């Protein structure tokens, strides 16, 4: 008998100690987390009958954010549903502020990893706006992947405009079919961004199933951005098949965004991989779109940072490994950028290129002149050795300008008498 009582005391003591520490006022010189490091909150299967409703009612759940994850996890894992319900209401009733937010997030983030269904139920049961959404966000971010259907249930029950992009992005990596089924029935807003996330992950696992779903989706889902994500995923699953399929669709403008996205992703892998893709495309708009996606970072088409960390000299040399019809409209902007960094290097490189190639590069560079400093670009035009190409280059520059724009441009350019006569001859033939 004495042995039984001793064993019971041994099992109950850690839980009682932890409950007492959380229930007591905060120590003046150390945090509750530090006070609990040597204690343990025992799990339900080992805590026996020692921890009754009164024990859990006395816990100061408001201080949960002050303890370590292990202590919070063991406490919530050992608590009955009634205690969890009471605690969630007490946290909701706290005065607005950072401490309430922290306590609510800690409670629901921890509970979501223990019992996702209960965490969802309690989050939905909260009435006050701020704690409710803090709970919903914490649950959606913390549940294990296997419990994502509970997050889907929570979002469906909200019946409000809620972004499900994070849910779909995570869920579709493991079970895209289930994520697609949820999207099809979800009453809230479903953005094409959500569908694109689904397509990328699904195509990386099963492109045939993803393609079939997209083919039967609403027409508003079959947009360039969605196809771009679909092919980006397919390339990861079967590069050759994705290349072949895109090549067959390169004449359709709907798929140009996909071609651009694949080209950029491949360029981050290696310029050779991007080249192989471009050469797999038929000559025409698809090839130019693929190369233009990369050179667009030099032509200021894309604002913000450059995720590819491109170097103008490397891209210039890479472009010349592609067919002429791909690079001759693109290389000028890249050369212009390179010249600003190292004009001498540009001149040395041009001097080594064959005459016919150099003239085409100079023509593109001339057409990409800087309006603030046009003399350098026009200097490249005057360096073109082929008289016909030189005249055509200048003609293309001035053809679409108004008379006022032409005059404003020429006022900025320092022309020798011979070059002035040449430009005048071009203008007279427009």
Res. 23: pLDDT tops 80: no
Residue 301 has a pLDDT of 59
Predicted model pTM? 0.73
pLDDT in tens, 349-385: 999 999 889 999 999 999 999 888 899 899 999 999 9
What does the alpha-carbon distance between residue 256 and residue 82 come to, in Å, rounded to a whole number? 57
Instruction: Determine if residue 28 is left, alpha or beta; phi over 0 gives left, psi from -120 to 50 gives alpha, anything else beta.
Output: alpha
CB within 8 A of 359, min separation 6: which ones? 384, 385, 386, 389
Tokens 């090549």 belong to which residue? 247
Token representation of residue 182: 């949820």
Res. 94: pLDDT tops 60: yes
Instruction: Determine if residue 223 is left, alpha or beta; phi over 0 gives left, psi from -120 to 50 gives alpha, anything else beta.
Output: beta
Handedness of CA 198, 204, 205, 206 (dihedral sign): positive
Among residues 194, 192, 188, 185, the alpha carbon closest in space to that of 167 is found at 194
Res. 51 pLDDT band, cuts 50 70 90: low
pLDDT in tens, 52-66: 555 677 788 999 988
Instruction: Delimit the domains of the chain by residue range.
Output: 353-430
């Amino acid at each position: 008998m004495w042995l039984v009582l001793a064993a019971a005391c041994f099992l109950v003591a850690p839980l009682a100690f932890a409950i007492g520490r959380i229930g007591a006022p905060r120590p003046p010189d150390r945090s509750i987390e530090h006070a609990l490091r040597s204690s343990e909150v025992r799990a339900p299967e080992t805590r026996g009958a020692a921890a009754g409703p009164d024990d859990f009612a006395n816990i100061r759940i408001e201080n949960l954010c002050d303890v370590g994850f292990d202590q919070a996890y063991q406490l919530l894992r050992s608590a009955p549903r009634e205690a969890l319900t009471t605690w969630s209401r007490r946290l909701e009733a706290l005065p607005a502020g950072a401490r309430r937010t922290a306590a609510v997030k800690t409670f629901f983030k921890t509970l979501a990893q223990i019992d996702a269904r209960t965490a969802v139920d309690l989050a939905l049961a909260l009435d006050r706006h701020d704690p409710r959404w803090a709970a919903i966000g914490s649950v959606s971010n913390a549940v294990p992947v296997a419990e994502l259907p509970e997050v889907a249930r929570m979002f469906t029950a909200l019946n409000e405009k809620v972004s499900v992009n994070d849910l779909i992005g995570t869920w579709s990596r493991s079970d895209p079919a289930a994520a697609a089924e949820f999207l099809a029935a979800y009453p809230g807003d479903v953005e094409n961004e959500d569908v694109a996330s689904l397509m990328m992950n699904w195509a990386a696992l099963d492109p045939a199933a993803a393609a079939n779903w997209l083919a039967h989706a609403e027409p508003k889902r079959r947009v360039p951005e969605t196809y771009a994500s679909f092919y980006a995923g397919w390339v990861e699953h079967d590069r050759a098949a994705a290349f072949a399929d895109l090549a067959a669709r390169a004449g359709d403008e709907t798929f140009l965004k996909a071609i651009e996205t694949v080209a950029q992703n491949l360029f981050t892998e290696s310029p050779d991989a991007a080249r192989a893709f471009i050469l797999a495309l038929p000559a025409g708009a698809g090839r130019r779109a693929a190369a233009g996606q990369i050179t667009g970072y030099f032509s200021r088409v894309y604002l913000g940072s450059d995720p590819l960390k491109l170097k103008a000299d490397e891209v210039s040399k890479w472009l010349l490994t592609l067919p002429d019809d791909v690079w001759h409209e693109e290389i000028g902007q890249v050369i212009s950028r390179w010249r600003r960094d190292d004009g001498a290097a540009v001149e040395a490189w041009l001097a080594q290129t064959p005459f016919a190639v150099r003239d085409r590069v100079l023509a593109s560079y001339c057409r990409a002149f800087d309006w603030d400093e046009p003399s350098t670009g026009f200097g490249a035009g005057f360096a073109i050795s082929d008289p016909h190409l030189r005249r055509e280059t200048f003609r293309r520059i001035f053809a679409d300008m108004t008379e006022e724009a032409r005059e404003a441009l020429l006022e900025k350019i320092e022309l020798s008498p011979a070059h002035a006569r040449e430009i005048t001859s071009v203008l007279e033939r427009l």
